[in-house]
Amino acid sequence: MPKSILSLSAIALALFLTTANAVEADQLKSQGQKLRTEIDETYKNLKAKNALKTSPQGSDISAILLKYISVGSTFDNAEAILKAAGFKIDARPGPHPPGNRPDKNDVGARIDPYETAFMQKVSVWVSLAPKTPGDYSSIAKISGAIFVDMP
């Protein structure tokens, strides 16, 4: 096969991959925006009903998170969705994180503060658990909550 045909094939493949990556990035951003909208609506409803829970339990939003980030999703995609929703993502733990906590290998994400008011601060926290310690290829569990802290 002539070099010019190989070059055209390589260019076509590169354009296809670039377009596919851009479409995926747009989809992840859209999912993140929808997630944020649903978190905002949930917060407003809980606040109106005076049903927000304080730390350490908080008001569980795991079911909402699972609508946008399914178990088995890649960490990269989950983090992209959370970033688009306004979360700050913590660094992934190293190969041997210290401590004995069962969640020591999880990746945390937060919107902190989500809202502040007189004598209270509201935060949203998410935890992404790897399928095995140190393997951040896919998510085994996702959980999250809206927390109200009062000094």
Q: Could you read off the pLDDT of 98-136 as tens digits, one per residue?
A: 888 888 889 999 999 999 888 889 999 999 999 988 899
Distance CA 46, CA 52 (A): 5
Q: Please, how many CA atoms are within 13 Å of residue 108, restricted to the half-sphere of its CB? A: 11
Beta-bridged to residue 149, according to DSSP, are: 121
What's residue 80's pLDDT? Answer: 95
Split at pLDDT 50, 70, 90, the class of 20 is: very low
DSSP E strand stretches across the chain: 59-60, 88-89, 107-117, 120-132, 135-149
Split at pLDDT 50, 70, 90, the class of 23 is: low
Does the structure show a pLDDT above 80 at 8? no
What's residue 18's pLDDT? Answer: 52
What's residue 15's pLDDT? Answer: 45
> Is residue 119 within 8 Å of residue 151, measured between CB atoms?
yes
Split at pLDDT 50, 70, 90, the class of 17 is: very low
H/E stretch holding 41 reads helix 3-48
What's residue 11's pLDDT? Answer: 54
User: What average pLDDT is seen over the chain?
Assistant: 86
3-state secondary structure of 115: strand
pTM of the model: 0.82
Does the structure show a pLDDT above 70 at 140? yes
